[in-house]
Amino acid sequence: MTTRTKVLATFALSTLGLVSFRAASDSERYFEIAKNLDIFATLFKEVNTYYVDEITPGKLVKTGIDGMLKSLDPYTNYIPEDDIEDFRTMTTGQYGGIGAVVVKRNGKTVVQSAYEGYPAQKAGLLPGDEILTINNINVDKKTNADISKLLKGQANSVAKLIVTRYGQDKPVEIDITRDKIQVNNVPYYGMLTPEIGYFQLGGFTVDAGREVRNAVVKLKEQGAKKLIFDIRDNPGGLLNEAVNISNLFVDKGLDVVSTKGKVTEWNKTYKALDVPLDTQIPIAIITSNRSASASEIVSGVLQDYDRAVLVGERTFGKGLVQATRPLSYNSQLKVTTAKYY
C-alpha cells in the first residue's frame, strides 16, 4: 500500500468514525428527549390521579413549561393562545381596543386621556372618569395589566363601562365598540430651536422606519440642521426595522448587523440596501439603561460609522435575536435563535 493510499484510507476511516460518532450522539440525544418526555407524561398522569386536591391541568403544565424556559434566558417564552393578542401588539403596534389611556391613581381606575377620533372619545368617555366596571367585572382590585386585558378585544366587539363622572350624581353607562388601534412608533417630533429637531422613537414595530423617515423629512422642512434622536426606554422590536432606520443615515451597501445562531442557514449579514435619507446631518442619540435590542443596533451602527454621538446612560446590553415558532392550539414559542454582532 502506497503512502498516498494509506493517507486516503486513514482519512476515510477518520471521516467514517466522525460520522458514526455524530450518528451515535444524535441517537443518544433523541433517546434522551423521548425518555424525558415519557417521564413527564407519566409523572403528570400520576399527579393528576393521586394528588390530594383537585388540579388545573393547563395551569400545571404551563408552570412546568415556564420553569423549563426560565432556565434558558429571560426572552425565551411560551405564549398561550390567550396572550397572542398582546404579543401581536408588540410586533405590529396594532391591537383591538378603545383608544384610551387608563391608569391606577390612589386606588381608583381613572381615564387619563381618550385619543382623538378613536372609539373611547367617540363614545363620550372623558379624562377624569373613574371606571367602576368593565363588562360587569368590578375593577376595584384589578391591576393595570388586568384592566388593559379587559379593555382590549376583537374589533367591533363591545366594552360596557360603568363610570363615575365629576358633577354627575349617578354612575354613567358607556358602550364602546372596539376598533383597531395603531400605536405610533414615533409618538412625538418637533423643533427645539430654529436649527435643532427632536424626535422620539418608542418602538420598532411594523413601519417604524417609514415613521422615522417622515419625522426627519418634516423636521428638515422646518429648518432642522441637527437632530436629537431619543430612544430612552425603547425595548426594541423588529430587527428589519432597526436595519431600515440605520439605513436612513448611512451609505448604501454598508454592513448594519450580523446574526449567528445554531441554525447556520439563518445566519445573515444585514446591509443598508437603499439610498440613505441624509448621511451628513449631525445626530445625538439619547439612551437609557432600558434601551435594548433593536435600539442598541441603531445606536451602535450610527456610532460605529461616525454618524451619531451617544449621550445618556449605558444601554441594556441584550444582543440577542428572537423568532416565533408556531405550536399546537394556536399557541407560540418565542425563542432566542441568534446573537447579533
Residues annotated as catalytic are 293, 304, 318
Query: How many CB atoms lie under 10 A from the CB of residue 20?
Result: 10
Strand partners, 338: 261, 321
Q: Show the DSSP H helices in 193-323 as ranges.
A: 208-221, 239-247, 294-304
Among candidates 183, 311, 300, 310, which has minimal Cα distance to 243? 300
Which residue type sits at 125? L
Say if residues 96 and 119 touch (Cβ distance below 8 Å).
no
Give the residue among 80, 79, 78, 147 at the shortest CA–CA distance from 109. Answer: 147
- Cell numbers that stand for 207 in this block: 413601519
Cβ atoms of 164 and 172 within 8 Å: the answer is: yes
Cα–Cα distance measured from residue 262 to residue 65, given in angstroms and rounded to the nearest whole number? 22
What's the CA gap between 176 and 96, in Å, rounded? 12
How many C-beta atoms surround the C-beta of residue 75 within 10 A? 15
Cα 146 to the center of its chain, rounded Å: 19
Distance CA 159, CA 152 (A): 8
As given in the structure block, the three cell numbers for residue 64 are: 412546568
Across the strands, what pairs with 177?
158
Q: Is 311 helix (H, G, I), strand (E, B) or coil?
A: strand
* Beta partners for residue 200, in sequence order: 188, 230
CB 247 within 8 A of CB 306: no
The closest alpha carbon to 299, from 324, 318, 275, 276, belongs to 318
